[in-house]
């Protein structure tokens, strides 16, 4: 097994849904197979397929996942899918270079220049200590006390010297308390602590937001801890959503049949009302998760 980097667009035209599977050509089969049973880090290139004003991606690492299996694409010869689980967004994107230090040493040529050839490879094997360094940078608020961050001067250590870091990092990244707290922060921040259905933004006396982070595709159905699988909802609306009394249309409007909604909530939960959505298009609910909720949770 080996850690790896998977390069993908946040809104890919190439058949990826990074939370569930990664699509790649035969060129990268050996590297992808080596990552089965281990963790990968997703990297967003300059071109994302999103219209974000500049037409450029972050050129940063943005999430992790565990590779379950490799399977052939039944519709496209010499192409494959890597099925994944344990997807989790970083707390902040991590640029591929911090000052003069490349977080992936393979991307740097002698003399300090970027290796365009290495960057052009969509799947890249990643040494354990570089995986640890990128994860530490991606979870700065929670790294202290959870796992030991590795600072830039240590990046040159031999891989064998870094192996003690690998186990506590992986155990932390797949633990439910860590993931639930991370998911809650990401969703609340994306929606500016505002309920996606009612538009209410309530903060208690201690400065704590009332809004909760709801999974669209439930965790029990292997729904990922991705902001694209999340909605910020007030407690009552969260209850309605989890029990399938309301759902979401493809145009991100509310589906709320009158027969399923208590009369007292009719003024707040209105069928056809557009959701209050994140400004960042990369954080919008993904259609595959919405469809799962409608098909498997919604009772309408």
Name the CA dihedral angle for 61, 62, 67, 68, rounded to a multiple of 10 degrees: -170
Low-confidence ranges of the chain (pLDDT < 50): 52-53, 143-165
d(CA 108, CA 110): 7
Render pLDDT for 100-121 as a digit per residue (tens, 0 to 9): 889 999 999 887 788 888 888 9
* Model pLDDT, residue 127: 95
* Owner of token pair 């192996």: 163
Q: Which CATH number fits domain 3-174: 2.20.25, 3.40.50, 3.10.590, 2.60.40?
A: 3.10.590
- CATH 3.10.590 domain locations along the chain: 3-174
Task: At 291, list the tokens.
Answer: 């469809």
* Model pLDDT, residue 263: 76
Output the CA–CA distances (angstroms, integers) from residue 206 to 84, 195, 202, 203, in the order listed: 39, 19, 11, 8
* Model pLDDT, residue 14: 61
* Model pLDDT, residue 98: 85
* Model pLDDT, residue 158: 40
Output the CA–CA distances (angstroms, integers) from residue 119 to 23, 35, 74, 170, 182, in the order listed: 18, 19, 28, 25, 29
Q: Provide the whole-model pTM.
A: 0.84
* Model pLDDT, residue 141: 63
């Amino acid at each position: 097994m080996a850690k790896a980097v998977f390069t993908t667009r946040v809104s890919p035209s190439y058949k990826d849904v990074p939370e569930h599977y990664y699509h790649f050509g035969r060129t990268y089969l050996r590297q992808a197979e080596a990552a089965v049973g281990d963790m990968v880090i997703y990297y967003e290139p300059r071109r994302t397929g999103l219209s974000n004003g500049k037409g450029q991606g972050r050129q940063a690492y943005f999430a992790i996942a565990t590779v379950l299996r490799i399977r052939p694409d039944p519709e496209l010869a010499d192409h494959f899918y890597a099925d994944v689980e344990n997807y989790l967004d970083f707390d902040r994107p991590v640029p591929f270079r911090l000052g003069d230090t490349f977080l992936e040493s393979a991307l740097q040529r002698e003399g300090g220049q970027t290796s365009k050839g290495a960057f052009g490879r969509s799947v890249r094997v990643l040494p354990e200590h570089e995986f640890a360094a990128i994860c530490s940078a991606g979870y700065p608020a929670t790294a202290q006390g959870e796992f030991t961050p590795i600072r830039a001067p240590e990046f040159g250590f031999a891989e064998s010297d870094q192996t003690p870091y690998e186990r506590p990092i992986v155990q932390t990244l797949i633990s439910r308390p860590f993931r639930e707290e991370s998911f809650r922060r990401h969703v609340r921040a994306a929606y500016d602590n505002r309920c996606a259905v009612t538009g209410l933004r309530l903060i208690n006396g201690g400065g704590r937001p009332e809004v909760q982070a709801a999974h669209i595709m439930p965790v029990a159905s292997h729904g990922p801890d991705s902001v694209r699988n999340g909605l910020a909802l007030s407690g009552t609306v969260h209850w309605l959503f989890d029990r399938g009394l309301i759902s979401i249309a493809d145009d991100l409007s509310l589906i709320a049949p009158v027969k399923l909604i208590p009369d007292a909530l009719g003024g707040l939960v209105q069928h056809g009302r557009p959701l209050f959505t994140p400004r960042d298009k990369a954080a919008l609910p993904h259609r595959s998760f919405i469809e799962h909720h409608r098909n498997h949770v919604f009772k309408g």
